[in-house]
Structure 1
Amino acid sequence: MTDSKDSTSNHKMQAGTAAVWSAQQANDWYQAQGWLTGADYIPSNAVNQLEMWQKETFSPDLIDKEFQLAENIGFNTMRVFLHSLVWKEDADGFKKRIDQFLTIAEKHHIKPMFVFFDDCWNKQASPGPQPAPKTGVHNSGWVQDPGQPRSEDTTIFPELEKYVTDIMTTFKSDKRILAWDLYNEPGNNGKANKSMPLLKAVLKWAHAVRPDQPITVGLWKWDLEDLNKVQIAGSDIISYHDYETPDWHQRVVQLLKAFGRPVICTEYMARTRKSLFSNTLPMLKKENVGAINWGFVEGKTNTIYAWDSPMPDGGEPKLWFHDIFRKDFTPYKQDEVDLIKKLNGKQ
């Protein structure tokens, strides 16, 4: 991590933008939420963010059923990716679908965290029908936002600013929303500091709106020091990703707590890497760190397969990488579901 002296920048932003929450304000907010548990969520019938949100494939009935599963095991949040192309094609319709999604979530006592930009997986996206998943390949259809090299093209920033500002302004006081995660894994796919201009821009745009909900940009790679400094400085609450074993994961938690702000893990749980519910979730609860694992219901994202271990025959891997429930909504591992329910006070 960066030197501790950099933490003083938590309380300041560049001139002309609204202030980051004070540590006290952030901690008061966090205490009011209760312990946060949930998953990175996409409906099981969607291969990517566009298929989730476009009018033709938006599936409120399925979302309702899957959120009932989440409520049953005590989940109270879901981290959910938006996409700028859906807004560009149909801004009003997109906002109506977000509102409908939030109504379903509220019914099941779930407050989503929405994600704007993303540097992960496929470099380019197109509106309309999305590609079928590649057999046995993890997240074969997931798309970056705004893409590569589009994320480095400052001439499109005014349009992206309109997108972020429109969505955040529409929902800035909506109590059904937990938080805003502005940029998933900036610098991924070899971009490194090429993502810096967009990262700084989206922080500026978000703070100009200054929603009632907290803002965050999750840390995910410790050697991206320049990006990490900006992410920490612009975040009301600290979020991060960690797929390590719990001994290493706990050290990360202890370091991040030094900032004196709430800490939420927005990605963890990869069984073949020994990041498990059984060894990690109890640690996160003990540390009072929010716990959002990747994957919920087995589906078109193919995240039962590991990042780097495709299975061309499409068979079931010996050990699932992500996900909690099978397509028929039965648990992949009953003992995991029992543990989640127990830690969430559901049994």
Structure 2
Amino acid sequence: MVGLNKNILRSILIASYIILIALIIYGISALFSYLNTGADRSKMLHTEIKKVDQYLPKLVWAPLQNEGRPMDKENLNALQNDYLDAWYVKQIAYKTNKTAGIKDYYTDSARKNLYDFIAHNNAEDISIEATTLNHNPTLEFFSEDGQLVVITDRDVIEYKRVFKADKLVLETTETSIYKMVFLLEDGFWRIRHLVKEDTEIYKSKTKTVAVDSLNIKGINYYPQANPWQMFGDTFSKDTISKDFKIIKDAGLNSIRIFVQYEDFGKAAVDYKKLEQLKQTLDIAEVNDLKVVITLFDFYGNYDVMDWTLNHRHAETIINALKNHKALLAWDIKNEPNLDFDSRGKDVVIAWLNTMIDVVKSNDNLHPVTIGWSNTQSASILKDKVDFVSFHYYEDLDQLDTAIKTMKTDIPNKPLVLQEFGLSSYSGIWNLFGSSEEDQSEYHKKIQGIIADNNLQFMSWTLYDFAEIPKEVVGRLPWRKRAQEHFGFINQNGETKPAFQYISKE
């Protein structure tokens, strides 16, 4: 028994020794790893502002024909990253009048000018919101020792808003040429010298698309089982194919579908969902339907520093689908005027204006529109869109007058009534709501107005839905119940009386 206790004690001591040695080794290893993290310059220099997923203007290098040492890909990528980071930290500094990050991307001499400018703005209560949208740099010189670079950046498109005491005093978009000298210091390509050699007011080079053959008789579409969640794990080609056949057989020729900005991955587009979007267009083509794609659904930020991410998102989707035979048009955004009060009318319109340029610069064949929520906003950017889309859920007795007013204000662009409808819900949450018969009379009447005014149209919507996401109309039950019953087909899959007026023919 005594021998057994000694063996147990000996085993405990050996195990304790092994554990102690392991802890010591682990501690040394952790310390070594920690010290090695100092090689990561972003941690070593406590840099919190980074370009990745925050700042992605379009940048196209001229062919490399520089003097001095040939530039390798690794150095070029490092130079490009630090260059864009330098722009980003400068713009954050001008917006906040703080100098965080400046020292990481500008040398002593260059940062003094920036510090003086920031101090002046701070004293005068001036702030600047700005972003660059396009860069076209040319590498002019790369020193033999690999420590100095000279570049010229042409056609830099820069948007800026200048505020004095929080009041907007200047809004402008400029095209400039910049000349810069970089030094390699502590692993950073820092700007030593920067000169704006030339600048002029930016003029869009995009052109309108001919829409003489535009003939939209369509409907806004979501599958009944997963409205506002069409793409993802619940995506069903069979369901979409069945629904598109119903739409085509009903005498319609087009559908409007929605791409949610965050759901599709923002700047880093989810290629699985992009493929599902393409498959949706494939099914539309089989059924001889054309597709209006509405971009940026559920997006409502519009912050100037978000713009380059928005542009890369749109660019990816457009270039993936612009040659598809089923594509009819691009709708920049659904009802952006509803964000005027919360985000500022000027910045929303500026965002729309630049987004039209992005879409048209990537696809000059398909027309562009904006889905305004009412007739009063329809004339905004009327000269930049190719056709004007508006929604109408108001008194039908006023619609004819509203259409005539729009035709006077917008004489040279087709008008598309892009959303309209009436809920057939009348229940505990709305005792005085409309019935299915009321809904049918509504569609009969509005199709008459559409025919009399030679309008094109897309109604809301094919199905009644069992569940509406709170992001669409909020949590209030009377709003959700009403939104669930706008369809031409009820939740049991039966056509409602209004179905006979789904098309004006």
Using the size of structure 2 for normalisation, the TM-score is 0.50
Cα distance in 1, alignment partners of residues 390 and 467 from structure 2? 22
Alignment of 1:109-148 (within 5 A): 109-118=288-297, 144-145=298-299, 147=300
1:117–1:175 distance in 2 versus 1, CA, 3 Å: same
> SS of the counterpart of 1:113?
strand
**Which residue of the partner structure matches residue 156 of structure 1?**
306
**Which residue of the partner structure matches residue 122 of structure 1?**
none
* Contact 2:337–2:372 (CA under 8 A) maintained in structure 1: no
1:19 to 187, 204, 207: 207
> SS of the counterpart of 1:205?
helix
Residue 239 of structure 1 pairs with residue 389 of structure 2: yes
Deviation at 1:160, TM superposition (A): 1.2
Q: Which amino acid in 2 is paired with 1:91?
A: D
Name which structure has the greater RCO, CA cutoff 8 Å, separation 6+. Answer: 1
* Contact 1:64–1:104 (CA under 8 A) maintained in structure 2: yes
* Contact 2:369–2:386 (CA under 8 A) maintained in structure 1: yes
Deviation at 1:208, TM superposition (A): 1.5
Q: CA RMSD in A?
A: 2.9
Alignment of 1:192-211 (within 5 A): 192-193=344-345, 194-211=347-364
Deviation at 1:249, TM superposition (A): 1.2
Deviation at 1:235, TM superposition (A): 0.7
Deviates more, 1:158-167 or 1:181-190: 181-190
> SS of the counterpart of 2:337?
coil
1:76 to 232, 236, 253: 253
Cα distance in 1, alignment partners of residues 335 and 320 from structure 2? 25
User: Could you give the per-residue CA deviations for residues 85-117 of structure 1, whole angstroms, max 9, x where no partner exists?
Assistant: 343265332332122101111222211111012
2:493 to 308, 322, 329: 329
2:223 to 43, 57, 61: 43
Deviation at 1:301, TM superposition (A): 4.8
Cα distance in 2, alignment partners of residues 264 and 178 from structure 1? 13
**Which residue of the partner structure matches residue 248 of structure 1?**
398
Deviation at 1:237, TM superposition (A): 0.7
Q: Which amino acid in 1 is paired with 2:220?
A: D
Number of aligned residues: 280
Cα distance in 2, alignment partners of residues 211 and 301 from structure 1? 39
* Contact 1:173–1:213 (CA under 8 A) maintained in structure 2: no
Residue 29 of structure 1 pairs with residue 209 of structure 2: no
**Which residue of the partner structure matches residue 261 of structure 1?**
413
Deviation at 1:340, TM superposition (A): 3.2
Cα distance in 2, alignment partners of residues 247 and 308 from structure 1? 29
> SS of the counterpart of 1:234?
coil
Alignment of 1:281-296 (within 5 A): 281-296=447-462
Cα distance in 2, alignment partners of residues 92 and 320 from structure 1? 31
> SS of the counterpart of 1:207?
helix
Alignment of 1:265-276 (within 5 A): 265-271=417-423, 276=442
Larger radius of gyration between Structure 1 and Structure 2: 2
* Contact 1:168–1:211 (CA under 8 A) maintained in structure 2: no
Alignment of 1:47-58 (within 5 A): 47-48=227-228, 51-54=229-232, 56-58=233-235
Structure 2 stretches lacking a partner, 5+ long: 1-201, 424-432
> SS of the counterpart of 1:218?
strand
- Residue identity over aligned pairs, in percent, reads 19
